[in-house]
Amino acid sequence: MLTAKQRELLIFIQRKLEETGISPSFEEMKDALDLKSKSGVHRLISALEERGFIRRLANRARALEVLKQPDDVAASRPAAANDAVGGVVTPPRAMPSPANDVIEVPLHGRIAAGAPIEAMEDFQSLPVPAALLGAGDHYALEVSGDSMIEAGIFDGDYALVRKTSTARDGEIVVALIRNEEATLKYLRHENGKIRLDPANGAYDPQIYDDSEVQVQGKLAGLLRRYN
């Protein structure tokens, strides 16, 4: 059995998902149920989760899935789209994908946008809007230096990188140099060499033998914090 508030919250979440495809925020749930604080929402969600009515989707912020409705609500709903109507069965309407999904991507330390520095390998994570990423596996690196400022990449930005070992000339890549240092630069092939070009007139291109450079990803997006 659900309490009145648990039932009210469950119906509110389901209605929001049906209307928009987006889970309501804690603020919206607090206001809808006329609660005094978000901690009350947390308790209600935990109770619904324990009873198997909802579940939280992993690696996504504000993403809830309704697994079942109270019996009295399910019985009183109109016929679903996949019920037989006039002998014809129609498929259910697909729910729209949540537009506010946030994905946790690995954050692998700092990367140089100046002289190469060692790329740290740690196991932190960074929440990133899914719309910034697209297909493929991604990771994030904090930018250190100013050699890419003319490309709009500044010290302290977070570079969102799609994993790949290949790239075309002119693409911004994470280049691992001599298996020791990593840098963020434009990639160029020139006379059998690899040229890594900055986007700042104060820096010179870096030229290496092809065997000295490994592409470890292409720039997919940026995150910037404003203090």
Is 147 part of the annotated catalytic residue set?
yes
CA 10 to chain centre: 26
- Phi, psi (degrees; rounded to nearest 5) at 42: -55, -45
Residues shown for the chain: 227
The active-site residue, picked from 25, 185, 193, 218, is: 185
185 catalytically annotated: yes
Measured distance CA(140)–CA(179) in Å, rounded: 19
Beta-bridged to residue 20, according to DSSP, are none
Give the span between the Cα atoms of 61 and 29, in whole angstroms.
Answer: 15
Kindly compute the dihedral angle of the four CA atoms of residues 12, 14, 15, 16, in this order, to the nearest 10 degrees: 90
* Given 125, 147, 193, 218, the catalytic residue: 147
13: part of which helix (H) or strand (E)? helix 4-20
For the annotated catalytic residues, the residue numbers are: 147, 185
